[in-house]
């Protein structure tokens, strides 16, 4: 299945609520300033049909402007944004959603995620209830979470009766999250990989380099192909048009089962970002 678009043919995945999401999207963390609108516009021209932003990234307006300027029909672009830690809690989340949607200049959102669980604030269940209300109101199509560990997911599912459509987590070959992926698969949660390229840390790994040579691809393409074959959604970021295009060109070759196992073997618990159990930047007090 491909994403519903006449101008792009990115393979897609069906979420547990029936919505279709492109398997590759464009991440826009740190895509800010004068270049932001142009860069996102270029991504859409190159064929990206999914943009991953967040209130925290400070570029929702630029994302909205680039989509509007692209001239693409609204239903051909899948837009994700995230609720920042400071906005957790039912009422605050409702207000934050309004603000994000306004900044994006959209009348509905495709996917809204809770950016971090912030267990110390103990508000993520109430926050998820706000997301459920927004979904019932038809203002967002799909709701999910980010940086949730198994225990956080279990609590949301038990206390709200709803399974998040997506969990967006740090995931790259040195931090492959096999256990969490298995839990997602068991519950019908799509795994979305952030920092899918490990911000470049695995480009010099001998297994990745060997496969790049075999397939005459770049290390980035080998890693993104690995994500696709695992069934992940991935949202690589680049400001360089040639790399943006390269990162999309991963659908015309296939790694063997043995090669997938070789990549699995280089996992070394190499987390780069915060620990979801303790990360609490800007948390409500």
CB environment 74-106: b (16+ within 10 A), e (fewer): eebbbbbbbbbbbbbbeebbbebbeebbebbeb
Q: Do the Cβ atoms of 59 and 31 come closer than 8 Å?
A: yes
Figure out which of the listed residues 117, 238, 248, 255 binds ligand NAD, where binding follows CB under 6 A.
238
Q: Count residues binding ligand NAD (CB under 6 A).
A: 25
Residue nearest to ligand NAD (CB): 27
Smaller CB distance to ligand NAD: residue 117 or 257?
117
Residue 252: exposure state from Cβ atoms within 10 A (0-12, 13-18, ≥19) = exposed
Tell whether residue 246 is a contact of ligand NAD (CB under 6 A): yes
Q: How far is the CB of 193 from ligand NAD (least distance, A)?
A: 8
| Part of the chain binding ligand NAD (CB under 6 A), chosen from 22-30, 39-47, 178-186, 249-257 | 22-30
Residues 46-85, mask of contacts with ligand NAD (x by CB under 6 A): ------x---------------------------------
Smaller CB distance to ligand NAD: residue 110 or 246?
246
CA torsion, ordered 48, 53, 135, 190, to nearest 10 deg: 60
Residues 149-168, mask of contacts with ligand NAD (x by CB under 6 A): -------------------x
Taken in order 38, 102, 10, 264, the sign of the CA dihedral is: positive
Catalytic positions: 57
For ligand NAD, the binding residues in 82-121 under the rule CB under 6 A are 115
Taken in order 277, 280, 283, 285, the sign of the CA dihedral is: positive
**Three-state DSSP class for residue 79:** strand
The residue among 243, 190, 186, 250 whose CA lies nearest residue 217 is 250
Tell whether residue 197 is a contact of ligand NAD (CB under 6 A): yes
Tell whether residue 222 is a contact of ligand NAD (CB under 6 A): no
H-assigned helices in the chain = 36-46, 60-70, 90-104, 124-136, 150-160, 178-187, 206-215, 219-230, 241-248, 257-264
Tell whether residue 146 is a contact of ligand NAD (CB under 6 A): yes
Tell whether residue 279 is a contact of ligand NAD (CB under 6 A): no
Smaller CB distance to ligand NAD: residue 3 or 56?
56
Residue 281 to residue 127: CA distance in whole angstroms: 17
Q: Interface with ligand NAD by CB under 6 A: which residues?
A: 27-29, 52, 115, 146-147, 168, 194-200, 218, 220, 235-238, 243, 246-247, 273
């Amino acid at each position: 299945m491909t994403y519903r678009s006449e101008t792009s043919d990115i393979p897609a995945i069906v979420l547990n609520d029936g919505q279709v999401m492109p398997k590759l999207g464009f991440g826009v963390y740190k895509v800010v300033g004068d270049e932001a609108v142009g860069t996102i516009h270029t991504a859409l021209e190159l064929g990206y049909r999914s943009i991953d932003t967040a209130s925290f990234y400070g570029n929702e307006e630029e994302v909205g402007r680039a989509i509007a300027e692209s001239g693409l029909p609204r239903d051909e672009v899948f837009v994700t944004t995230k609720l920042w830690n400071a906005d957790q809690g039912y009422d605050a989340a409702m207000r934050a959603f309004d603000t994000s949607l306004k900044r994006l200049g959209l009348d509905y959102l495709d996917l809204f995620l809770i950016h971090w669980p912030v267990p110390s604030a103990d508000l993520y269940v109430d926050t998820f209830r706000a997301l459920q209300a927004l979904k019932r109101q038809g203002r967002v199509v799909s709701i999910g979470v980010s940086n949730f560990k198994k225990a956080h997911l279990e609590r949301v599912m038990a206390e709200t009766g709803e399974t998040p459509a997506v969990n967006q987590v740090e995931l790259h070959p040195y931090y492959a999250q096999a256990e969490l992926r298995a839990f997602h698969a068991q519950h019908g949660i799509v795994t979305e990989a952030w920092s899918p390229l490990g911000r470049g840390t695995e480009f010099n790994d001998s297994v990745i380099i060997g496969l790049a040579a075999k397939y005459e691809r770049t290390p980035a393409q080998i890693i993104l192909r690995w994500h696709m074959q695992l069934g992940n959604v991935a949202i690589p970021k680049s400001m360089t048009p040639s790399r943006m295009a390269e990162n999309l060109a991963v659908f015309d070759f296939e790694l063997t089962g043995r090669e997938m196992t070789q990549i699995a073997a280089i996992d070394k618990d190499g987390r780069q970002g915060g620990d979801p159990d303790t990360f609490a930047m800007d948390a409500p007090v």
